[in-house]
Structure 1
């Protein structure tokens, strides 16, 4: 699967335990998506278009109105990266 560098960064943050918090407008459409790392830091690479592509491909999912998390398909698609901490 062809995944961009920004999508890989988001998936890597989610694979380590992060989540994507979203906000909806009055019509129920998602208008804002923010990716948080497991430490609570905001990831600047996550924008609405990257969020929509990840959601459309089934790499992230939300259950019961909770924040979006990585799926098993997303875990299989993310490339290994060194943890720079």
Structure 2
């Protein structure tokens, strides 16, 4: 599966324990922010990127909880070094 550089960055943060918090206006999602496991917000994450990842099945939400990486997303993410 072809995954863009921005999607790879988000998937990597989610695979390490991050989450995506979404904002609803009634039934529609009008905003989303991606946070890493330390609680820092990822820059460059947009609603368009969120919708693209959701439609491709790379992220999923269960029971109204924040979005997390799905099994399909785990299979699509490439390994990266964690420079800490």
- The reply to whether TM is greater than 0.5 is yes
Aligned partner of residue 42 in structure 1, secondary structure: coil
Structure 1 unaligned segments of length 5 or more: list them: none
Please state if 1:38 is matched with 2:16.
no
Tell me, in whole angstroms, the C-alpha distance in 1 between the residues paired with 2:47 and 2:83.
26
Task: Report the CA distance between 1:45 and its aligned residue.
Answer: 2.5
CA RMSD of aligned residues (A): 0.7
Check if 1:16 corresponds to 2:16: yes
Partner of 1:2: helix, strand, or coil? coil
Q: Kindly tell me the number of residue pairs found equivalent between the two proteins.
A: 84
Report the counterpart of residue 28 of structure 2 in structure 1: 29
**Once superposed, which parts of structure 1, at least 4 consecutive aligned residues long, lie more than 6 Å away?**
none
